[in-house]
Structure 1
Amino acid sequence: MELSRLFDLIPEQITIYDKPIALSKKENGTWKNFSSRDVKEIVDNLSLAFLKIGIKEQDKVAIISENCPEWNFVDVALQQIGAISVPMYPTISAEDYQYIFDHAEVKMVFVGNQEILEKAQVAAAERKIYSFQKLEGALFWEDFLATGYNENFADLEQSKAKVKAEDTFTIIYTSGTTGRPKGVMLSHQNVLSNVLGIANIMIPARGESRVLSFLPLCHIYERTGFFCFMHLGYSIYYAESMDTIGENLKEIQPHAFNTVPRLLEKIYDKIVAKGYELKGLKKSLFFWALNLGLKYDPNIDQGIFYNMQLKLANKLIFSKWRAALGGQVLQINSGASALQPRLARVFWAAGIKVCEGYGLTETSPVITVSICTEEEIRIGSVGKLIQDVELKIAEDGEILVKGPNVMQGYYKQPELTAEVLQNGWFHTGDIGEMDGEYLKITDRKKEMFKTSGGKYIAPQAMENKFKESSLIDQLFVTGESKNYPGALIVPSFDGLKDYCQHKGIPYTSDREMIARPDIVDKFKREVDELNKYFGKWEQIKRFKLLSDSWSIETGELTPTMKLKRKVIEEKFAKELAALYEE
């Protein structure tokens, strides 16, 4: 059947797959399933409820919730009547809620839990708030849904018929790293072109596979993923929370899921930490297998002896890694920031296929994606262009993109739109290079800086490399107009504890340990070792160890776990200044 709007994916799924489990969430310890037909019934009646209450085409409705089927029900129900969803991160402030409510002229608000409700109440003014849980002070969404039953379906069909492929269906306010968020307007065509481009290269079988959803649906990465999974007939299971991902992976045994590098880093660090806890032969075997994995390259045959060792390592060690992910994973899609090549190597060696892609909210989001086979994968690249998307590299190295996935513009901000959309080409702000058909990202244009010696520094590339150390969890490179780069380092305290145990150093507290001269000296040796990968002008000369991790909650990370550079510069101004004091 012809697809022109995103909500067309529901009847398409019924026609082709008619799935008994389209969506599923855990409720009171039991998985509650929704069939393809359940999804259609709920979405249709929600659409009618919206019509009944007076929501019309182009009206805006906010959704602020953790991942759950109800999130998607509201989103698709709004699409069918030509209304516009405004998804928001649960973690942002009440002040940000108010700005977005007012800027987008939001009419209604849907929230997920008590904490979100309390922030929304501060910002909502006279707007009605509905909740996905029964909460004091909010109207329950199921009561709202009930008002749509027994309404006239002919009215809904008329509304659906008016919706065109080029109509805006959502405005996504990008979290950004500085300043007020910008409202990215995306059409059905924008996201649907992305869905069809990605679907062609997904490895798991259509109609038979399971996926786990845990990245925020308010981010276009997971949301486009949702529509792609619907199109492919995958059963979508929603993780209970970020804390239960490990348990849910074992329960669901998914064939695929979307993730960000930060979560893969944490999985890897936990695996290595458990390796350090082993004794004797088991410990030796673990690190033998790990070192084999770190040397792996899917594009190079390293000979019969290496291949035999790797086969044995897979049987003895890596099989346990796969079991921890449910044992059935065929494809992991990594995006939103750069993936460390060493992680890609070791996961591929372990039979865990991690495929990196690249894109932005403004491109719906995918521009390039890695094809998940040993023949096609290129570690260190973000893959090939998806269908119908064009790319060129500007003279200054900036990546420019054209295609049906490129946004309509920033809501109520024509000047900003004109800055990034020129002659049909979207200016991504990322610096990159083509290696044949494969794209490599080297840095963010706005984040590159120049030292006092006139040399350019690409901080992201350095930060990614330094995080390969088992002792470094997070790192921020600085040095604009200075005579050398410096860094703030948040240690991996699990790695530090393992090091101290190995060296017989009594571990007291994180704060006390990073103040010890012998520990600082160990980090100095670690930094010097990693500096060898960079030119002399790029090498970190001085650093400061910090005792507290950066997070979304404390403000240093965006919801997609990128560093908020301006926030870090302001928050740690004293520590950064000390790096350049004699």
Structure 2
Amino acid sequence: MSPDDKTGPPLPPIAFHSIPDLFASRAAVDPSRPAIRFRSPSGKWSDLKWGEIDVRRRKLAAGLQALGVKRGDAVAMLSPNSAEMLLAELAVMTLGAASCPIFPGYAASVLLHCLTDSGARVAFAGSAVQQHQLAGARQLERIVVLDNQPLTGAVPLKSLENYGSIDVPQAGEQDVAFLLYTSGTTGNPKGVELTHWNALSQQAAISAMWDVSDKDVFLSYLPWHHCFGALFERLMALWHRALLVVDDSRGRDLDRLYTNFFDVRPTIYFGVPRVYNAMIARAQNDATARDALKGLRFAFSAAAAISEPAFRFFESELGVPVLEGWGLTETSPCATITRRSDPKRAPGVVGHPLPGTSVRLDPVPEFPGRGEILVKGPQVMKAYHRRPEETARVLQDGWLRSGDLGEWTQYGLKLQGRLDGVFKLTNGEKVSAGEVEARILAATPLLEQAVVLGSAQPFVTALCWIAPAAAQRYLEDRGVEPPAAVPELVQVPELRRAIVEALQSGNLLSPVHYERVRRIGLVAESPSLETGELTPTQKMVRAVVSSRHEQLIAAMREDMPHPHVLDIVRRGDAFQNA
């Protein structure tokens, strides 16, 4: 084995052949135990018990069979997280069909692309709102509405429970359980086929590394159309018979999120950095929020590395371990994770391979000591849906080419950005945008997003977005009245000065001078799904960002004066527009 290859311990044995098989086994242990908790239309918390879900998913499977759904089909799901969505997905998989959850917030053209590409003839809609969104999909033969209030042309979920029961799951371990569409940062989303074996092996591996149990409580807002929400968090709760609580804040309403946090008192929490930053800003001024966070056994940063300040807040001030992992939709999703028992944890260090998993670094000549991360293991996808050439390009001899750059450290794998984020400066030197972006965000909690640029430029520049909650607290702590509107934050001299000084310090950590950020442009408006700048998992879409902010980028590149541009290298000029 090459020094750049690392392999985890053996995969523990798995007693189940499919996710419905797992569910039936867990339900039989204690049918009266609550499996999922959610807010009813009245606003009160309600539970569905294991036994009730198991009976209903069998009945719903029979109803779907009556609609013509069969093994090997894909059934679309367009819904926010809900107990009914879980029921529907389990019923689909009981028949050996694949659940295809699609993000309801996609633009109509992207949504139609996913629906058409999936080949689904039957779809579940969360409500009449999603039923309207499905109206343009001509291939759909039937729409089932989860809240039982369909418009004309659809049927209520409860109507499918009158066709008997499918008592033996028809799915096998190599059948596709999920057809998940990637976030699409570089084009239209691709469908990733993940089997029951992919999903079950992931949970068996994690159970050997983490001490999750049936005493744990998960408060879940990560969307179930995405791998981290559906296969990692949700299936982890089901695997261990932990209580899964649906967070109706959806990670967007901070007041509602904390209300749910106080009610539920989760012991394990999965989130994305942007939400963690907002939660921390609140907790720094609110003792009740701070105490609630202290009740966590650990927190996990999904989809991207947590910032250095957020990491320190959890680990040092709250005493809550922050765990991280690395993977892709194509790896169900994790290939490496950190553990509470690890001797040292740090942001961006994503641990060691899972049991049964091998990770290889394929050398990249321009970046000595680093390489493209390759993965081989039971969690690696079956294929890209209807894309045999692309599947063959990324799956070679059992190894999945991730497109991510990494390096091994004594504490595990450290991420260094994306290969497709590597650009060449006019001096011929190559720079990893992801590595520089991580350094920017680690330098200060005042920034929540960064997009680094430099292709065919003489120096590195970056578009940056101020973190509103952290910025407001920073100003209040110094007796400065925050502006009434968030876009005005980019003009506040105290913030501009603090950001420049932090990034100057961050530049000193760069191992080579040409990777240092020369100029940044502060973007006044927050990135959003609606503008297309963010994916559903809060990743920046570089092409859209570059198009929307073309003038600001030109001002940085051409050394032109601009009220939102700050010079980082020449401190004397940094505040000329303040």
Normalised by the length of structure 1, the TM-score is 0.85
Matches for 1:68-107 after TM superposition, within 5 Å: 68-107=82-121
**Match 2:312 to one of 334, 342, 345:** 345
1:565 aligned partner: 542
Task: Give secondary structure in 2 for the equivalent of 1:207.
Answer: coil
Alpha-carbon distance in structure 1 between the residues aligned to 2:359 and 2:440: 30
Unaligned runs of 5+ in 2: 1-13, 365-370, 560-578
Change (3 A) 1:125 1:424: closer
Identity within the alignment, %: 26
Change (3 A) 1:138 1:91: farther
1:403 paired to 2:370: no
Please state which structure has a larger fraction of its residues in helix.
Answer: 1
Matches for 1:117-516 after TM superposition, within 5 Å: 117-124=131-138, 126-133=140-147, 134-137=149-152, 139-148=154-163, 151=164, 153=165, 156-157=166-167, 160=169, 162-204=170-212, 206-224=213-231, 225-242=233-250, 243=253, 244-272=256-284, 274=285, 322-325=290-293, 327-349=294-316, 350-373=318-341, 375=343, 377=345, 380-396=348-364, 397-436=371-410, 438-468=412-442, 469-500=444-475, 502=478, 504=480, 507=483, 509-512=485-488, 514-515=490-491
Unaligned runs of 5+ in 1: 276-316
Alpha-carbon distance in structure 1 between the residues aligned to 2:342 and 2:373: 27
Alpha-carbon distance in structure 2 between the residues aligned to 1:30 and 1:511: 37
* Alignment check: 8 A CA contact 1:345 1:379 kept: no
The one-letter code sitting in structure 1 at the alignment partner of 2:463 is: L
Change (3 A) 1:106 1:539: same
* Deviation (angstroms), 1:496: 4.0
The one-letter code sitting in structure 2 at the alignment partner of 1:248 is: N
* Deviation (angstroms), 1:17: 4.1
* Alignment check: 8 A CA contact 1:389 1:402 kept: yes
Alpha-carbon distance in structure 1 between the residues aligned to 2:356 and 2:482: 59
Change (3 A) 1:438 1:495: closer
Alpha-carbon distance in structure 1 between the residues aligned to 2:390 and 2:124: 29
What are the superposed Cα offsets for residues 234-283 of structure 1, whole Å, 9 maximum, x if unpaired?
A: 011111222222111111111113222222122223334x38xxxxxxxx
Change (3 A) 1:447 1:330: same
Alpha-carbon distance in structure 2 between the residues aligned to 1:321 and 1:190: 37
Alpha-carbon distance in structure 2 between the residues aligned to 1:384 and 1:512: 43
Alpha-carbon distance in structure 1 between the residues aligned to 2:474 and 2:203: 46
**Match 1:14 to one of 11, 22, 27:** 27
* Alignment check: 8 A CA contact 1:356 1:381 kept: yes
Change (3 A) 1:54 1:475: same
* Alignment check: 8 A CA contact 2:75 2:99 kept: yes
* Deviation (angstroms), 1:79: 1.0
Comparing 370-379 with 441-450, greater Cα deviation is found at: 370-379
The one-letter code sitting in structure 1 at the alignment partner of 2:204 is: L
Change (3 A) 1:107 1:321: same
* Alignment check: 8 A CA contact 1:130 1:138 kept: no
* Deviation (angstroms), 1:136: 3.0
Change (3 A) 1:174 1:544: same
Alpha-carbon distance in structure 2 between the residues aligned to 1:67 and 1:226: 10
Alpha-carbon distance in structure 2 between the residues aligned to 1:124 and 1:175: 24
Alpha-carbon distance in structure 1 between the residues aligned to 2:552 and 2:190: 31
* Alignment check: 8 A CA contact 1:451 1:483 kept: yes
Alpha-carbon distance in structure 2 between the residues aligned to 1:352 and 1:23: 25
* Deviation (angstroms), 1:420: 0.3
Alpha-carbon distance in structure 2 between the residues aligned to 1:508 and 1:328: 34
Query: What is the aligned length?
Result: 529
* Alignment check: 8 A CA contact 2:472 2:482 kept: no
Alpha-carbon distance in structure 1 between the residues aligned to 2:417 and 2:553: 22
Alpha-carbon distance in structure 2 between the residues aligned to 1:187 and 1:217: 16
Task: Give secondary structure in 1 for the equivalent of 2:336.
Answer: strand
| Structural RMSD (CA) | 2.3
* Alignment check: 8 A CA contact 1:391 1:401 kept: yes
What are the superposed Cα offsets for residues 421-442 of structure 1, whole Å, 9 maximum, x if unpaired?
A: 0111000111111224611111
Alpha-carbon distance in structure 2 between the residues aligned to 1:409 and 1:555: 27
**Match 2:122 to one of 102, 108, 111:** 108
Normalised by the length of structure 2, the TM-score is 0.86
**Match 1:533 to one of 502, 509, 518:** 509
The one-letter code sitting in structure 2 at the alignment partner of 1:479 is: G
* Deviation (angstroms), 1:321: 5.3
Alpha-carbon distance in structure 1 between the residues aligned to 2:336 and 2:517: 32
Alpha-carbon distance in structure 2 between the residues aligned to 1:379 and 1:508: 33
1:286 aligned partner: none
The one-letter code sitting in structure 2 at the alignment partner of 1:476 is: V
* Alignment check: 8 A CA contact 2:116 2:137 kept: no
1:551 aligned partner: 528
Comparing 190-199 with 377-386, greater Cα deviation is found at: 377-386
* Deviation (angstroms), 1:208: 2.3
* Deviation (angstroms), 1:58: 1.5
Task: Give secondary structure in 1 for the equivalent of 2:96.
Answer: coil
* Alignment check: 8 A CA contact 1:211 1:234 kept: yes
